[in-house]
Structure formats: structure tokens, C-alpha cells
Chains A and B, each alone.
Chain A
Amino acid sequence: MKARAVIELAANVLTIAALAVAAGVGVSTLVRHPANSSRPGLHRGERLQVSGLHLKSGKNLIIALGSKCGFCAASVPFYRQLATSAPSNLTILAAFREDSPTAESFLRSRNLDLQALGGIDFSALKIAGTPAILLVDGNGKLLDFWLGYLTPDVEQEVKRAIGAQKAG
């Protein structure tokens, strides 16, 4: 009974502390960011900060993933189709904010044969969430992009954009 009381007390203290933090964050956010405020995102045609990605000449498809991202895991069959139908002038990179071993483990466990890049600064790429797909040229110019969990129609659009050799 005593242990239960201690746990209850700890839970109460944690809840109150969290409320205080959340209230503080909320108030400061409201002051700095009015409702529906915006942050700059991706703009087709702009040049991205791509240091560390080692882009190849031709086209590069950067697939931004996270090991804990459910939609990333759900999209693996589509990524596999991309990997197998990519034309020769296209390089596909699987970029993770997490470290390289985590990135490689994610790909290996899902039998996804892509080049893994861990420790990527997503904010430099203006990626706000995963999954995200960026098509860039060898100089980092953003040719196109697709965000979130894609519908079959949009998946076809991605294939058309990369010039996939087999329409799946």
C-alpha cells in the first residue's frame, strides 16, 4: 500500500510539472506564434543545403525516413518499387535524422536495398516530418517533392517524375 501511495504521489508531481511546462510552452508559443502561423517549407526550384548528402550528377531521390515512423514502414513496398525501377541516372538515398546504424538496421530488416544516410540535418533540408521524398539535381536544386503518406495516384506521379522504367 505504501509503495502504491509513493507511485501515486510521484505521478501527481510529474503531472503537475508537465502541466506547468506545457502551459509555459503554450503561452510562449502563443506570444511568438499566433494561430495558424507559418514556417517556411520547400519551394520547387530552390536550391537546398545538401552538404553531407554526397549527391551524384543527374537526379537524386532523397527519401527522408524515421525508424519510429509508422507511415515510413507502411510505405516500404512503394520504396522497394522505386529501388527496382529507378533509371540509371537516378540515385536513391534513404536519409535519417537518426544515426547510421539505426538507419541501416531499418533498411536491412525490411529488405530495402537503398543507400542509408544517418545523422542528416532535416531542418537544413526543410523537412518537417517523415516520410518525405525530395527529387533534386546534382547541385541540390529541388525539382519536386512529396510529403506524408502518399496515395496510389501520387505514388504514380513520383514514378513518372523519376522516369521509372516499369510502372508498377
Chain B
Amino acid sequence: MLMKVTALGVLLCCGQCFCQGVVVNTKGLPEHGLMLNAPLNSNQGGIATYQFEFQNLNSKRVVAYALAWTYIGPGGRPVTTYDNFYSTQEFLDGGVPHLVHDPPSSHSLKPGEKRVISPISNKPAGFSGQLPPPGKFLSSHANDASVTLALDAVVFEDGTLVGPDNSNLYSKVTQELKGYDDLLKAALATQDDNALLAMLKSTGTLSNSKILTNPANADPQKFYTYHKAEAARMLEAMYKARGAAAARDMAGKVRYRQLPTLRKI
């Protein structure tokens, strides 16, 4: 009897939840001309429910941004994941050679430009994992009550950053540049060749790529260590291929000075 009554309750509850569909919310930054438009073909269901449009109505070019995806399941507890979209090059002062090849940003949005945003089709910066296939993504979100897409942080071409920045985009970028820069300074300051190689080897093992499967969800300190280690491994490779002088030469040529205008407003 009790089981039947419970089954009755579960049935009626599920029916109610199912017929509602996923409530789709957006948090653009309209005060800065940064619009997030809800899915245009939401009646189709499926992946169209999660295809948003990001439009830059500001007069300045967007060079980087962070998205926050918040899903609320049937239990009512929100789960937020972040995606960062940027190229390190956009945050550097001057056109100097770079240690790590980072092409000009494909994440930028010119004034008036629009971009379709989806959790399964936009690969964030530094993301080394696999984006979920549509079927898997949809089945894992089949019972969600709502999805909210928010612009967590946006950086304009003049270096100004707007938005709450809960994903610490600002701190991560600055820590990344500091990690590179500190390693280069340390390399230049180490006169002895053997000591240089030992330093590069030990620093290079401090962090590996597995730590940053999705950098957007890593903390800034890990970001610093990861990029310092990455720079050390690259200099070590140069040292082994062409010797200590070449490694020092490389360390002397590249610069990771932060764009002086980068600031939160």
C-alpha cells in the first residue's frame, strides 16, 4: 500500500516536472552593450535549447570573455561551470616574441558582431579535454529545471574588464603572465649551466597538463605554477637541443609583461 502511494506521488511529480521543459535564463551585461540572446529555435528542443547568441553592441572590440553555465537539476541545487575564452597575446604589452605559440585571438568579437554560444561547440582556451557529444550532454541534462548562461567577465581591447568575474579570469591571466615572466627572470639570473638545467628540470615537473583539463575551473595559484612549469619545459627543450646559451638567448628575447591598461572596472 505504502509503495503504491509512493509510486503515485513519484508519477505525478515527474509528470509535472517533465511538462515544464527547461527554463532558459540569460545574464548579459546590457549596461556595457554585451547582449546574450536566448535560443531562437527553442521550440525544436534538443541542442537548440542550449544555443545562445552573444552580441557585442559596444563600440570596442571584445578580446576575451568568461562564461558561466548554471544548471539547476530536479533537486533545486545549482551547479555552475565556467569557460574562459582568451588568447594570452591579447594581454601582453608590445609585440614581442612569445615562448608559447598563441595565435591572435579567435575569441574576439568586433563591434556589432554576433556569435553562437553552446556548451558543446565552443572549445575554451587551454581546454585539453573532450567536449561532450550532443547525445550525452542532452541525456545528462534531460531532467534539468533551468539553465542560465551568464557573461561572467568580458575584456575589451583597451584592457578594461567588466562583469562579476567569479571565474577569476583577471587573476588567472595575470598569474599566467607572472608564471612565464618569473621563470624567464630565474633562467637569466642563473649563471651556471648545470644549475640552469637543474632549475628548469625541477620547475618543469611542478605541474603537468592534467591539472588544467579545463583551466576555467582551476584556481589562480595552480595557473601560476602550471605556466611557470610550461615555460621551464620549453626552455629545457631548447637547452637540450641547442645548449645553455641558446636557452638563455631565448629567455632574454621573450617578454611577458602584462598589458598596463588591463584593469577591472
B23 with A44: CB separation less than 8 A: no
In the complex, are the beta carbons of B166 and A153 less than 8 A apart? yes
- Mark each residue of chain B from 17 to 31: 1 if its CB lies under 8 Å from any CB of chain A, else 0: 011111111111111
In the assembled complex, which residues on chain B have CB atoms less than 8 Å from the CB atom of A28?
19
Interface residues on A, range: 35 or more
Q: Interface stretch among B41-49, B179-187, B199-207?
A: B41-49
Q: Residue B18 contacts which of A8, A26, A44, A149 (CB distance < 8 angstroms)?
A: A26
Is A147 a contact of B38 with CB atoms below 8 Å?
Answer: no
User: Which residues of chain A are within 8 angstroms of B70 by Cβ–Cβ distance?
Assistant: 147
- Looking at the assembled complex, report how far the CB atom of B121 sits from the nearest CB atom of chain A, in whole angstroms: 15
Q: Is A98 an interface residue (CB 8 A)?
A: no
Enumerate chain A residues within 8 angstroms of B46, measured Cβ to Cβ: 34-36
Select which of A12, A38, A71 is within 8 A of B39 by beta carbon.
A38
**Residues of B in contact, count (CB < 8 Å):** 48
Q: Which residues of B contact A148 (CB under 8 A)?
A: 72, 76-78, 146
A76 sits at the interface (CB 8 A): no
B23:A149 contact, CB within 8 angstroms: no
**In the complex, what distance in Å separates the CA atom of A63 from the CA atom of B261?**
39
The reply to whether B146 and A41 form a contact with Cβ atoms under 8 Å apart is: yes
Pairs across A and B, CB under 8 Å, 29 listed: A7-B1, A14-B4, A18-B8, A19-B11, A22-B14, A22-B15, A26-B18, A28-B19, A29-B19, A32-B19, A35-B45, A36-B45, A36-B46, A37-B21, A38-B22, A38-B23, A38-B39, A38-B49, A39-B20, A39-B22, A40-B23, A40-B38, A40-B42, A41-B25, A41-B38, A42-B26, A44-B30, A128-B20, A128-B145
Binding site for B on A (CB under 8 A): 7-8, 11-12, 14-15, 18-19, 21-22, 25-26, 28-29, 32-45, 71, 126, 128-129, 144-145, 147-151, 153-154, 157, 160
